[in-house]
Amino acid sequence: MIGTGISVNSITARRRHPLARVAVLALALGLLGGGYALAAPNGSTADAAIASGKADDVAQGKSLFVAHCASCHGMNAEGTKKAPTLIGVGAAAVDFQVSSGRMPAADAGPQAPRKPRPEWATDVVINQLAAYVQSLGGGPTVPSAEQVDPAKGDPAKGGELFRANCIQCHNFVGAGGALTYGKYAPSLNPATPTEIYEAMVTGPQAMPVFNDSTITPEQKRDMIAYITHVRSQVDPGGSGLGRIGPVTEGLVAWIAGISLLVLASIWITAKKRRAA
Amino acid sequence: MNAPPKAIAGVSTFVDDRIGAGNFLKRNLRKIFPDHWSFLLGEIALYSFVILLLTGTFLTFWFKPSMSEVPYTGSYAPLYGVHMSEAYASALHISFDVRGGLLMRQIHHWAALLFVAGMTVHMLRIFFTGAYRKPRELNWIIGILLLSLALIEGLTGYSLPDDLLSGAGLRITQGVAQSIPIVGTYVSFFLFGGEYPGHDIIPRFYTLHILLIPGILLALISAHMILMWVQKHTQMPGKNRTEKNVVGAPFYPAFMIKSGAFFLFTFGVIALLGAFAQINPIWLFGPYTPADISAGSQPDWYMGFLEGALRLMPAWEINFLGHTVTLSVLIPALVPLGIVMTGLALYPFLEQWVTGDRREHHVCDRPRNNPHRTSIGIAGITFYGILWLLGANDEISANFHIDLYTTTWFGRIAVFVGPAIAYWITYRMCIGLQRKDAEVLSHGVESGVIKRMPNGQYIEVHTPPAEDIAEHIRGKKEIPVLTSAEDGEGIPPKGARSALGRLRAKMSEAYGTDRVPLTDGHHEEAHEEEHAGVGGGDRKELH
């Protein structure tokens, strides 16, 4: 098996060790076995763990899970009354929820808001947690850097998909919008391309899943290209007023426009002709 | 003495001999206009309209009112190659590829918002000061027509760029047309030239937006101004101001300069908004397809109260003899608009009916001096305002983290309770302000001088109010009350015998009775001795 406690550093330090040959042999066998496990049609949980991370990541992830997640999601991620099961949600869901700070949840509101990550939730730790959850029942994996590279997408095509699938909740530029019972579609502005992709494949909270047969990975990349292009675009018409449409425009017309003109009319009529 | 130069005299004589304008100008240039800041509010609308005409003409040079489908090939990259209507493509062309086009579009849109907002504040000023009373009822009706037409003008203009947001408005318009019982479907097919959205609506709205409605607006605005000129402007009560004179500055030069400066102010504010605040960013909305809709789809502010009504309405639908009557659209589309517009149009006549007041009025009321009118106005504003606010309930919910349905239920209750509360509060405030007026007249104003009495008591010396303030307060005019008192033989007067007549008499009494006469400042006997002014010398009347 790959990575049976033998890291690259220890190999470097001990390659002249008498047991080095045994270690190399074990590594080769591990690679072979791992390759077979990847190619093998029956996906056992152990195989899934291999697909997304190393077995020691899984072990590490389990202890992290027990420390930070199990109080709500159950000791074996089987779910409790407070929180759903995580078996089968995949590494992508873990990466999305923890990297955006939504998990661990702060309180039991209608929806977990985006917030700064806890200090312990480094990228490495998230990978380990994700590997553990992935090992439980598979599910969508974290996309590669290439899959979410906005430069490789077509924003015009993505825009059409975005308008057809996303804006009814997230607003036309992804500024977010209200849903029922205190839920909401969050703003897409702080989301990384990876998080946007993961949200589409996992359907967090109130969001539906847009799997790869509904929207292909290339189309997802196009959408990411559109979202990141539009949100980074400098508003050509001046201040964007929050980009939420006519509500702020109306407020500005009354609060800035009418107030200024009323002040002007007061000023003009207050000017009297000096007595001759 | 100041003979004009020959060059000017020659031309002006030539023109005068043929047109005879000299006499007209001589008579009218010295026309007196009273001075009060609120009298300039209508000019916000007037000057915005001028700016709308100018910028609108600029936009017509490039705008193509066509719904034929074309691929976009302009310079806005995120839409490159996307199929869209020619109207939308040309609006994008104006925004990105015509020099100054985006600025003109933004100035046009801001001017439109300020046009209706200016009309609204002007209308409120007229209402609260009672300037709609005889002989100005017709001009008031013209004003209401102008406001209604401005809403339609705004709706058609909002729809023209054929972006996703304007399409949402168009869809609601069609829904409203369809909700009309029996003829709804026919109206919709007639309006859209077939199935929604079809290819006719943009060209049709274009003709309405740039030709028919502006033409009527222009004609009505001219009539509005001519009537104002002929009937003379109302004035606020004050020294030497009567129903028979106008105190103020002549049109030329004083008022003309002020008015001209105010045009520049209006233009300046609109130009600043157009330059620095982005409005209607159609490129962000994308082209309209009936299948797409965005969160946060809102109309421009003046349609917000209708949007709010639609959002508050429960999903009521009845089936009558095989016809579906969609009350959930019909009621919010017609009832609030009907209450607001019909109520405004009829108010002068209702008030006349209640008070029996047939006098001419050229001096404005201060809002506090007609407490019921003011309270009705504020109740109306509250009704409108709650509907308007709830038109944005999704943005309120999303940005202030309030549950969406909580906002809906708040609105459903507040739209009925709010006006009643507002009425009561306003009424009490008016009465309070009237008491203050009466007190100022009879007790004077605080002088800031504290005096110690021989008996050790401290009092603040009051001085009589300044003359202009006192005259302003004394301008209060009684509201007539219809008499319903029975004559010597126990028979009520002719008009007050029927049930309606009795109601009218009762309303008249409530509406017109002066609860705080100006001589009523002596309600607190203990302060009697505060009367004398600072300069009053020794207070001989001390007891």
Provide the residue ranges of all domains of chain B, joining segments of one domain with +. 33-290
Contact by Cβ (8 Å): A130, A94: yes
What ipTM was reported for this prediction? 0.89
| Same domain, residue pair A35 and A101 | no
Q: Kindly state whether residues A54 and A130 are assigned to the same domain.
A: yes
**A48 domain-assigned:** yes
Residues A179-187 have a mean pLDDT of 89
Give chain A's domain count: 3
Is residue A212 in a domain?
yes
- CA–CA min distance B43, chain A (Å): 10
Average the pLDDT over A183-190 and give the result. 92
A240 Cβ under 8 Å from any chain B Cβ: yes
Instruction: Give the domain CATH number at A177.
Output: 1.10.760.10
Strands (E), B202-326: 249-250, 318-320, 323-325
pLDDT tens, position by position, A217-268: 999 999 999 999 999 999 999 998 988 889 999 999 999 999 999 999 999 9
| Closest Cβ–Cβ partner in B39, B114, B405 for A257 | B114
Instruction: Compute the nearest-CA separation of B392 from chain A (Å).
Output: 7
Q: What is the pLDDT of residue B93?
A: 96
CA A132/CA A73 separation, integer angstroms: 13
Confirm or reject contact between B286 and chain A (CB < 8 A): yes
A179 touches chain B (CB under 8 A): yes
CB pair distance less than 8 Å for B269 and A268: no
pLDDT attached to residue B147: 96
Instruction: Please indicate if any CB of chain B lies within 8 Å of the CB of A175.
Output: yes
SS (H, E, C) B367-379: HHHCHHHHHHHHH
Q: Do A178 and B284 touch (CB under 8 A)?
A: no
- For A182, A185, B19, B260, the CA distances from B24, given in Å and listed in that order, are 67, 65, 10, 21
- Residues 253-272 in B contacting A (C-alpha not used; CB under 8 Å): 254, 258, 261-262, 265-266, 269-270
The fold for domain B33-290 equals: Cytochrome Bc1 Complex; Chain C (1.20.810)
Of B78, B261, B280, the CB nearest to A156: B78
Does B65 or A48 have the greater pLDDT score? Answer: B65
Q: Is the pTM of this model over 0.90?
A: no
Please tell me whether residues A150 and A135 are part of one structural domain.
no
Domain boundary among A110, A141, A172: A141
Cα separation, A241 vs A252, whole angstroms:
9
Rounded Cα distance, A230 and A196, in Å: 14
Give the number of C-alpha atoms closer than 13 A to the C-alpha of residue B471, restricted to the C-beta side.
11
Domain that residue A15 falls in: 1-41
- Under DSSP, is residue B448 helix (H, G, I), strand (E, B) or coil? strand
Residue at A120 is within a domain: yes
| Tens-digit pLDDT profile for residues A109-121 | 788 889 998 888 8
Q: Distance between alpha carbon B71 and the CA centroid of its chain, in Å?
A: 43
Structure tokens belonging to residue A263: 């002040």
pLDDT for the residue numbered B119: 97
Q: Are B262 and A264 within 8 A, CB to CB? A: yes
Say how far residue B430 (Cα) sits from the centre of its chain. Answer: 21
Alpha-carbon distance of A122 to B378, in angstroms, equals: 57
Same domain, A49 and A130: yes
For A134-167, how does the pLDDT look when each residue is reduced to its tens digit (9 = 90+)? 888 888 889 998 899 999 999 999 999 999 999 9
Least confidently predicted of A2-11, A19-28, B505-514: A2-11
Does residue A148 form part of some domain? yes
Looking at the fold, whether A26 and A72 belong to one and the same domain comes out as: no
Residue of A nearest to B259 (CA): A268
Judge if A54 and A30 occupy the same domain: no
- How many alpha carbons fall within 13 Å on the CB side of residue B409? 7
* Residue A81 forms contact with B (CB below 8 Å): no
Neighbours of B82 (CB within 10 A): 19
Residue B492 Cα distances to A191, B353, B357, angstroms? 78, 18, 20
| Cα B404 from Cα B415, distance rounded (Å) | 17
3-state secondary structure of B460: strand
Kindly report the nearest CA distance between residue A266 and chain B, in angstroms: 5
Q: A39: pLDDT confidence band, cut at 50, 70 and 90?
A: low
Residue A250 lies in a domain: no
Residue in B78, B293, B295 nearest the CB of A185: B295
Alpha-carbon distances of B469 from A67, B249, B329, rounded to whole Å: 76, 20, 51
Q: How far apart are CA B257 and CA A192, in angstroms?
A: 57
Give B402's contacts (C-beta < 8 A, 6+ positions apart): B396
A48 and A134 belong to one structural domain: yes
CB atoms within 10 A of CB A123: 11
Q: How confident is the model at residue A24 (pLDDT cuts 50, 70, 90)?
A: confident
Domain membership flag for residue A88: yes
| Residue corresponding to tokens 């100035």 | B107
Below-70 pLDDT ranges, chain B: 1-2, 520-543
